[in-house]
Structure 1
């Protein structure tokens, strides 16, 4: 049966219908004129910019600073080539989320809940809430590190940062929140002058980007491999999927502006790669030939090393950029949690609503921030254990999040003419398979810190065989059925129908097998994670 292209109504919060009021411009709901001419297109892009920029820059958070900084300090410019791997990884997953948000008009958690049932909906949200709460703690650790380097007292700095983060969302205005968030995103560009001051050799930077190498001897191979996996893995977090889809819906972006939102996403990807390259390059130049090379400690040590090499101003700018990144990360992660819980519980959850109209939504947001700030300030809080918890839970949640993302983007009832085509499916499936493999390795490395190179290669081989088997099964199944052609005309007017009318997603034998395997993986992973965290907590 051919997919229809008629406009259909979408169940959505009435606060999420109306003019697009972005940080940099407005598009009226009744403005149906074509976007012709450079000026008209630019004004439209400025109004749309926000979701992709915030979600990408938000992922260059305190944890990313540590990962990129460690690569630069310990291995110079040798791992810059990994940043080129980030481009497809960063874009592919979030592009699928862009389509889901604009076409369906509902959040990611709600789609999983309605199409795959309460178990998967509850699992996705509960795991996300726990993971995000721990992630916000790591952002406040970044805030304390930056404040310590800048000579600011810890308690006032943390409390002030928490107040700024909460106040940004509590304005009761989507536009005001986005203007604050975009301003902080612009602050991430402070890394550019840091790079210029550090002045790494252009030839070395070019060689690092264009010549893939594995630095270090055979004894360091497993450590280098884990760091490479960390560089790629730190760019994709489950919260990003939930944040961007809900934020696009909240901003009132429809399929009509799809290409502008994709341009917004590309802008975010570009800034992320520039920031990551600047951190690696500055750290490489600062520590080359010094006793600090190969002895990474934390982001404070990075700032001190950069200051010793390029002057105090460079160190201060780096610390301010770290503070800025931690605040952006806390913005995005907390908001993703509030959106997901609002989806799951069916309560009002929009930045267009005031506090009185969406009490639960704003309460969750503030509770996350206040809890994280309190934990960081409390003496004796096991911050190292919490950081490990972030790594492990992200590894556990990412495979399920990736699988449901692919399933939803192939669901014709959900996306209609916007579903993945064969080429896009092949590439997206490859990216997801790589991410799942990296996730399994990262999780395993936390559970078993002495993991060897042989074990890492064995995991890669095993995941590769599993992916090949899944591909073979999919090809065999596809050959038995003849898919109806997809009518992609007039896609701008196609919207998903009411979720209540769709019901559960149809389950083929392949889908049942995949979801069953996912259940088994999650059961084993959660048992191992629980055992490991208990061991660490008891000091073993």
Structure 2
């Protein structure tokens, strides 16, 4: 590995000086911005080890396979963790209410999943600094605080939905609710707080394997393979359904598949695993493995729900994942119901673990706390306090009689959709910051695609906010909103290009990507202050205004619903 920081020592020893130019210095002189010295050292993955001083080239299939096994983990865990309790509900609802007609959304989401996660993977490996801390350093205190606060609130609600999934699963399996929830919470806390990164990752990968239980359910229900293949590649809308309801479900699928917590978790976990740019190709392979598994799981849920409920009275009347398990038992057999419930329990546990860790990592990064799974509880008290506090609070909320669990689930999906554009905007800006990524910055093709993705996410966010405020929103209103957002985006792009030509600004020159495997971001206090153009300031101010207004309006609406208004 090219990085040569000492494996132990204080923070000052880690944050040593480095020239801020994008030209890679000799490897022997390289220093980085890594904030916790536990993030430097041997890679001790669940399935293998790579020594810090192991710089030998990987030649031959055996050597490459061993390296891949040692690297596997971040991409797999973040993707499988995304198929959590909320995803089970969303994909099951799509299958039970509309058959396999919305399978095509998964195909369209594959490049979005890859691009978003590849960018945070790059940021983590190259900078050694978490997502929230980079936002704080490059965009100021407001956005740094906003990113952590909204992540904390949204993640806290998301963890509650994970424990709601646990109650639905154990309820179907006939297990007592309160003891099961508390036991699950204890297992999650213990699994992450042993002070051994490898032990945690082995547990997490074992839980990832549990998601494969959805595959036998698919074969038991035996949906039409030909129909699924057609609907996967040919976009279409369900016949005889309200367009507004279908579009809101599509937005929910996007929101549950591309969640803000994923960006923060993946970047911090890559750093904690001590992965450097040298192993970027292997980590991308790990990411693709996770994407394949998450898409297979989502497609399986849509498929077996369509097959089990099609032609029966429950078709088109989704309630929750617990009723899905009961319906599978009714129409596909007891084994199918049990496997689905166990997979739901497994998904809820790994989801709670990953979402909690993303919050603990972000807070530790911003507040300067020790934040690594390589440390025991004594070595990172604040980190583990945040993690355990979120888990236990969510568990207690779920077992309190009368808690508005259904409303909390709806609120999470809504807030995730509202806040996702801001996360994507900052991700795109950071990946074009040459001071931060040097030779690893985005190319033009990546920027063009990501800009389109961000525009689509902003549009979906606006529609979702409008749908919460006006539950009776019509299909015409949704289409009109999409048209207005599209015109606004084109006008903004035209204005930016006109201003560039009028001012005579040249596009950024070519990036020297030579020897990029040895390049790491300099220490944060060595980075020059970013120069933010007037247009970007206006855009960020508009985004800030929209997010604050949308969050307040959505929260007010949720409170009104909770009070029965």
TM-score, structure 2 as length reference: 0.93
Matches of 2:280 and 2:537 in 1, distance apart?
A: 32
Mapping of 1:487-526 within 5 angstroms? 487-526=512-551
Mapping of 1:34-433 within 5 angstroms? 34-217=57-240, 220-433=242-455
Give secondary structure in 2 for the equivalent of 1:203: helix
2:121, 2:266 within 8 Å by CA — same for their partners in 1?
Answer: yes
Post-superposition shift, 1:78?
A: 1.3
Give secondary structure in 2 for the equivalent of 1:234: helix
Change (3 A) 1:160 1:461: same
2:89, 2:320 within 8 Å by CA — same for their partners in 1?
Answer: yes
Deviations 1:210-261 (A, max 9, x none): 32211132x6111111112221221111111110000000000000001111
TM-score, structure 1 as length reference: 0.97
1:143, 1:322 within 8 Å by CA — same for their partners in 2?
Answer: yes
Give secondary structure in 2 for the equivalent of 1:123: helix
Matches of 2:291 and 2:536 in 1, distance apart?
A: 32
Give secondary structure in 1 for the equivalent of 2:49: strand
Matches of 1:254 and 1:78 in 2, distance apart?
A: 42
Post-superposition shift, 1:302?
A: 1.0
Deviations 1:314-352 (A, max 9, x none): 110000000011011101000000001001111100001
1:2, 1:484 within 8 Å by CA — same for their partners in 2?
Answer: no
2:439, 2:513 within 8 Å by CA — same for their partners in 1?
Answer: yes
Matches of 2:536 and 2:380 in 1, distance apart?
A: 37
Change (3 A) 1:503 1:70: same
2:556 is aligned with 1:531? yes
Matches of 1:534 and 1:315 in 2, distance apart?
A: 35
Range moving further from structure 2, 97-106 or 520-529? 520-529
Aligned to 2:40: 17
2:41, 2:274 within 8 Å by CA — same for their partners in 1?
Answer: yes
Matches of 2:44 and 2:498 in 1, distance apart?
A: 48
Matches of 2:322 and 2:404 in 1, distance apart?
A: 19
Deviations 1:183-210 (A, max 9, x none): 0001100000110111111121122213
Q: CA RMSD for the aligned pairs?
A: 1.5
Runs of 4+ in 1 over 6 A off after TM superposition: none
Post-superposition shift, 1:2?
A: 8.2
Matches of 2:511 and 2:521 in 1, distance apart?
A: 15
Post-superposition shift, 1:442?
A: 2.1
* Count of residue pairs brought into register by the alignment: 539
Q: Which runs of 5+ in 1 are unaligned?
A: none
Matches of 2:511 and 2:519 in 1, distance apart?
A: 13
Range moving further from structure 2, 255-264 or 390-399? 390-399
Deviations 1:114-137 (A, max 9, x none): 111111100110111011000000
Give secondary structure in 2 for the equivalent of 1:289: coil
